[in-house]
Amino acid sequence: MTTRATRATRVGRVMQLTLEGVAGATLFAMMLLTTADVTGRYFFNTPILGTVELTQLMLAALVFLSLPVVCWRQEHVSVDLLDAIFPARLVWVREVIVNLLVTAALWVMAQRAWLLAQRAFEWGDVTEFLRIPRGYLIALIAAMLALSALLTLGRAVLYLLEGLKVIKQGGPLSPSTERGGDND
């Protein structure tokens, strides 16, 4: 019999592997496109038309597809200026506050990006050379920002629950929990 936590862990793992897989495939496609373009340009004097636009679109997709995984694992860039003077018993309070601030910022950005996506669809906004609709990419960015906000909110709730001793083990503060990186 599977518990709710086990199911949530499985769903999270599938989501993580899916996002990492799509991001990896996007990076691989970027590499193939660049290699083909450079080969065509220098050996056959025929570059691939629109390579710059496609690379820009794929790079944006790559960054925002990776964002939810980075937010959940907390592998983003951080500065630990106050870690040495911050009391260890209150780390959970700091982490709840930081994660809630990040959640709010991500949510505001997701809303703004969604409005931009709607406007791009309404106006028929396309890329300059290949005429690819921009709205789909902007909608993907908005969705990944919203997902990142939800995951960061979940992280804040886990810190809160573990800090208040509602859960004893398995939260973000627990040393037995694998969080995905050595720089936690």
pTM for the whole structure: 0.85
Predicted confidence (pLDDT) per residue in 57-116, tens digit: 999 999 999 999 999 888 888 777 877 887 888 888 888 999 999 999 999 999 999 999
For 142, counting Cβ atoms within 10 Å of its Cβ (0-12 exposed, 13-18 middle, 19+ buried), the class is buried
Q: Is residue 179 part of a domain?
A: no
What is the C-alpha separation between 134 and 123, in angstroms, rounded? Answer: 10
| Contact criterion met (CB below 8 Å) for 149 and 110 | yes
- DSSP string covering 25-50: HHHHHHHHHHHHHHHHHHHSS-PPTT
Q: Is residue 169 part of a domain?
A: no
Q: Is residue 129 part of a domain?
A: yes
Strand partners, 133: 126
Predicted confidence (pLDDT) per residue in 27-47, tens digit: 999 999 999 999 999 999 999
What range defines the domain where residue 28 resides? 4-163
Q: Is residue 173 part of a domain?
A: no
Number of domain units in the chain: 1
Q: Is residue 41 part of a domain?
A: yes
Q: Is residue 82 part of a domain?
A: yes
Q: Is residue 18 part of a domain?
A: yes
Angle of CA points 136, 142, 148, to nearest 5° = 135
Q: Is residue 28 part of a domain?
A: yes
* Amino acid occupying residue 53: E
Mean pLDDT of the chain: 88
Residue 173 has pLDDT above 70, yes or no: no
